């Protein structure tokens, strides 16, 4: 259903409260021509109502000659903030940046966070935002799971369709997403509700089967026939299958970058208000796919960059692939069983 301005302002009010926005703080709203106008308008009203000093920063898109689609996550690393010291200085001098543009995997985002500024990415359409307003309980649940992930040294993922892959862990931090930024220097994404880390460099081996009904992002497609990825020493060495596999191979080859085939972040979804099926109901250009990333019980793995966790890879090619019906083990502890989160494991 459509969302009223009143409903979306109330949602923003709750998120800004959770993000500890106080009277007199500086809030910058980063946007572009593609930003949803209702999201921009209601964010501005809610931030002003919270007593913040609000600055809107609108930047023009770039990379049209490089990207193969309009998707904002189709070509990462270079953003409209690249080589724009004026806008960068304004954001570093803010308490909170509401990113309605998408700065992901850019060095400028890291620089802003290092200054102590908080960044909240908000790129989903209003109906998704209102349905998945974050809560304090979301934060507690994700943080409880993160304690176990931080201690783990291996993640072993299996499925009835043939996935059997092991990731070595410990060299990179665990990252939690729960939809708000309550601490200086924190980044998050509304909506969300999942956690992940990055596999050690060279520490991913086995087979991943992307089954029918699993989702490819940024393509925002449900897979119609199986894709088999064979991993060795941290990289995908072959992509086998029929038409979907051929399209995935060509998509990755178009970047002409061997780093695109590296395993990046790995984790699982924990958001009960996000759903696997919603992508089928939406205009594909209207969403970045947060429902698919966050729905409860998925195993989410990615290919491409790891610079946001302190790694060396900055390839512009990035895929997020959430799988259903997997079992995820951290060392000897099962945290997801056949697509169901085992909360008892985190107690």
Q: Distance between CA 28 and CA 51 in Å, rounded? A: 13
User: Which of 66-70, 127-131, 133-137, 289-293 has the weakest average pLDDT?
Assistant: 66-70
The predicted pLDDT at position 79 comes to: 79
pLDDT digits (tens, 9 = 90+) for 197-245: 999 999 999 999 999 999 999 999 999 999 999 999 999 999 999 999 9
Is 15 buried (19+), middle (13-18) or exposed (0-12) by CB count in 10 A?
Answer: buried
Report whether pLDDT(140) > 90.
yes
Dihedral angle sign, alpha carbons of residues 162, 168, 171, 174: positive
| Average pLDDT for 41-66 | 90
- Please give the average per-residue pLDDT across 76-100, as a whole number: 90
Domains and CATH numbers, the chain: 5-131 (3.40.50.2300), 136-346 (no CATH)
The pLDDT tens digits for 64-75 are 665 666 666 666
Burial of 136 (0-12, 13-18, 19+ CB in 10 A): exposed
What does pTM read for this prediction?
A: 0.94
Q: What is the pLDDT of residues 157-175, one digit of tens each?
A: 999 999 999 999 999 999 9
């Amino acid at each position: 259903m459509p969302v009223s301005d009143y409903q979306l302002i109330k949602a923003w009010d709750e998120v800004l409260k959770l993000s500890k926005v106080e009277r007199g703080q500086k809030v910058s709203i980063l946007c572009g021509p593609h930003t949803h106008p209702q999201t921009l308008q209601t964010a501005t009203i809610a931030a002003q109502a919270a007593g913040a000093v609000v600055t809107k920063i609108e930047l023009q898109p770039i990379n049209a000659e490089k990207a193969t689609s309009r998707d904002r996550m189709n070509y990462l690393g270079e953003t409209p903030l690249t080589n724009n010291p004026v806008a960068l200085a304004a954001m570093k001098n803010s308490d909170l940046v509401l990113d309605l543009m998408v700065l992901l995997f850019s060095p400028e985002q890291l620089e802003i966070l290092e200054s102590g500024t908080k960044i909240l990415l908000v790129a989903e359409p209003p109906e998704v935002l209102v349905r998945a307003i974050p809560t304090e309980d979301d934060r507690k649940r994700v943080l409880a799971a993160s304690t176990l992930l931080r201690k783990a040294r291996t993640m072993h993922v299996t499925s009835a369709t043939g996935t059997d892959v092991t990731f070595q862990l410990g060299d990179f931090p665990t990252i939690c997403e729960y939809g708000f930024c309550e601490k200086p220097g924190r980044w998050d994404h509304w909506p969300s509700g999942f956690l992940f880390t990055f596999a050690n460099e060279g520490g991913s081996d086995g087979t991943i089967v992307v089954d029918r009904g699993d989702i490819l992002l940024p393509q925002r497609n449900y897979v119609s026939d199986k894709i088999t990825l064979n991993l060795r020493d941290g990289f995908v060495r072959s992509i086998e299958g029929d038409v979907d596999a051929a399209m995935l191979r060509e998509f990755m080859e178009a970047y002409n970058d061997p780093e695109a085939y590296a395993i990046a972040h790995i984790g699982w979804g924990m958001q009960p208000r996000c759903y696997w099926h919603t992508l089928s109901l939406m205009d594909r250009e209207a969403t970045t796919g947060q429902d698919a990333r966050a729905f409860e019980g998925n195993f989410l793995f990615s290919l491409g960059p790891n610079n946001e966790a302190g790694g060396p890879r900055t390839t512009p090619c990035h895929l997020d692939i959430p799988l259903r019906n997997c079992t995820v083990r951290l060392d000897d502890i099962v945290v997801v069983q056949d697509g169901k989160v085992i909360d008892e494991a985190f107690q």
